[in-house]
Amino acid sequence: MINRELIRIKIVQLTYAYYQNGNRNMDNAEKELLFSLSKAYDLYNYLLDLIVAVTRIARKHVEVATARSQREGTEPPSQKFAYNKFAIQLEENKMLNAFIEEQKQMWDDNTEFVRKLYTQIEQSETYAAYMADTDDSYEADREVWRKLYKQLIQENEELDTLLEERSLYWNDDKEVVDTFVLKTIKRFDPKNKAKQELLPEYKDEEDKDFARKLFRATILNADTYQHYMSETSRNWDFSRLAYMDVVIMQIAIAEMMTFPNIPISVTINEYVDLAKLYSTHKSGSYINGMLDSIARHLIETGKLMKTMDTPKPKKVAEEPKKAVEENKEAEEKDDKEEINQ
């Protein structure tokens, strides 16, 4: 489940935090990185368990309504959603239950939120269409939960706040983790019953090694990588860069130099996107230019054994001082530059 996109995000956060903290211990920082990544996997399981928690609330509502209908001699309520086939399979899932037992991560402490979410589900058009449909197949049951998750869980500010209060590590994880929860829902097969496999914490050991190697290269070779930045940015004042931009470029250079099988264009695109997410509004464009120039310089000087497309006719590393100053001012003014650990 923990893919390279999430690993890069965590390394940006932890590298920035590493330089902000007074105690710069590499071993402790690496442990913090791996712990932070493991918390993302906890969130994945926790969000899957939210489906189970809502289903149990729905079941209680049906039981109460059924008892009332028997006393009053009225028509009993539909049990379709309360006994949704996909949700029951998830509830019985061995991997999810092992996680719950080990981590003690459950929704019992947040029953008010779960009830509120169930009410929102009941009031949704998706729920109404599902309950009115005569299709009682497993596929229909799985699909309604995929839709409900996208509509009411994926974009839910109250849930985001609740998760942030529960763990600071989850502050920036949910957007990525949501995609894996939806992928998991889609992969469920009734034939697998309780043995349906959830996504593993890491796809393979290679991704875990990627996290360790990239983080270590970023920190241990910082002076060298920052020298590459300064000697390539002769046309503008490197010292006036927003600090987050320096961190992001430092990690990008580490990736270029450490992993020969990752194309330069892939690395540049990944860190340009991260710059847009974590730094100032102008950062993406000039980080793109800077990394392009740095990569070409390293190839030309024999320091980087990779290839790139034909260079653009103009110097891409040039950036007006005014733009750099705007980025510096924005960083100082806006606390959003800081990344929660």
Q: What's the burial of 86, exposed, middle or buried (CB within 10 Å: 0-12/13-18/19+)?
A: buried
User: Which range among 27-31, 227-231, 314-318, 328-332 shows the weakest confidence by mean pLDDT?
Assistant: 314-318
Two structure tokens written together for 154: 């994926």
Whether 164 and 291 share a structural domain: no
The reported pLDDT for the residue numbered 309 is 81
Of residues 288 and 319, more confidence is placed in 288
Distance CA 41, CA 144 (A): 24
Residue 58 has pLDDT above 90, yes or no: yes
pLDDT mean over 248-260 = 97
213 lies in a domain? no
Whether 185 and 312 share a structural domain: no
**Domain span holding position 84:** 8-195
Two structure tokens written together for 8: 């890069």
Give me the residue label for tokens 């190839």. 299
Of residues 239 and 263, more confidence is placed in 263
23 lies in a domain? yes
User: Which range among 74-88, 149-163, 230-244 shows the weakest confidence by mean pLDDT?
Assistant: 230-244
Residue count of the chain, please give it. 341
Distance CA 210, CA 89 (A): 34
Whether 191 and 225 share a structural domain: no
The reported pLDDT for the residue numbered 120 is 98
Distance CA 212, CA 19 (A): 17
Whether 130 and 272 share a structural domain: no
B/e letters for 235-249, b = 16+ CB within 10 Å, e = fewer, are: ebeeeebbebbbbbb
Distance CA 245, CA 194 (A): 47
The reported pLDDT for the residue numbered 105 is 67
2 three-state secondary structure: strand
Whether 176 and 293 share a structural domain: no
Whether 185 and 332 share a structural domain: no
Whether 143 and 45 share a structural domain: yes
208 closest CA partner among 17, 30, 59: 30
250 lies in a domain? yes
HSE-up (13 A, CA, CB side) for residue 55: 23
Write phi, then psi, for 202 (nearest 5 degrees): -125, 145
The reported pLDDT for the residue numbered 233 is 74
Mean residue pLDDT of the chain comes to 89
Distance CA 47, CA 162 (A): 12
Which of 195, 210, 241 lies at the terminal end of a domain, its last residue? 195
- Model confidence over 113-159: pLDDT tens digits? 999 999 999 999 999 999 999 999 999 999 999 999 999 999 999 99
HSE-up (13 A, CA, CB side) for residue 329: 6
Residue 335 has pLDDT above 50, yes or no: no
Whether 142 and 14 share a structural domain: yes
331 in Cβ contact with 242 (< 8 Å): yes
The reported pLDDT for the residue numbered 338 is 43
The total number of structural domains that make up the chain: 2
HSE-up (13 A, CA, CB side) for residue 311: 16
Whether 47 and 112 share a structural domain: yes
Measured from the Cβ of residue 327, the count of other Cβ atoms closer than 10 Å reads: 22
Structure-derived torsion over alpha carbons of residues 21, 24, 25, 27, reported in degrees to the nearest 10: 70
Distance of CA 216 to the CA centre of its chain: 21
Residue 336 has pLDDT above 60, yes or no: no
Two structure tokens written together for 95: 């991997």
181 in Cβ contact with 44 (< 8 Å): yes
End-to-end CA, the chain: 21
Whether 145 and 234 share a structural domain: no
- Model confidence over 148-206: pLDDT tens digits? 999 999 999 999 999 999 998 887 899 999 999 999 999 999 999 999 999 999 988 99
Distance CA 171, CA 336 (A): 13
Band (pLDDT 50/70/90 cuts) for residue 22 is: confident
pLDDT mean over 3-7 = 95
CA angle 276, 280, 282 (to 5 degrees): 80
> pTM above the 0.75 mark?
yes
Whether 245 and 188 share a structural domain: no
Q: Identify the CATH number of the domain in which residue 286 sits.
A: 1.10.940.10
CA 104 vs CA 2, 43, 71, 100: distances in Å? 21, 13, 39, 5
Whether 331 and 254 share a structural domain: yes
The reported pLDDT for the residue numbered 203 is 87
Distance CA 86, CA 88 (A): 5
2 lies in a domain? no
249 lies in a domain? yes
The reported pLDDT for the residue numbered 236 is 58
C-alpha R_g of the chain: 25
105 lies in a domain? yes
22 three-state secondary structure: coil
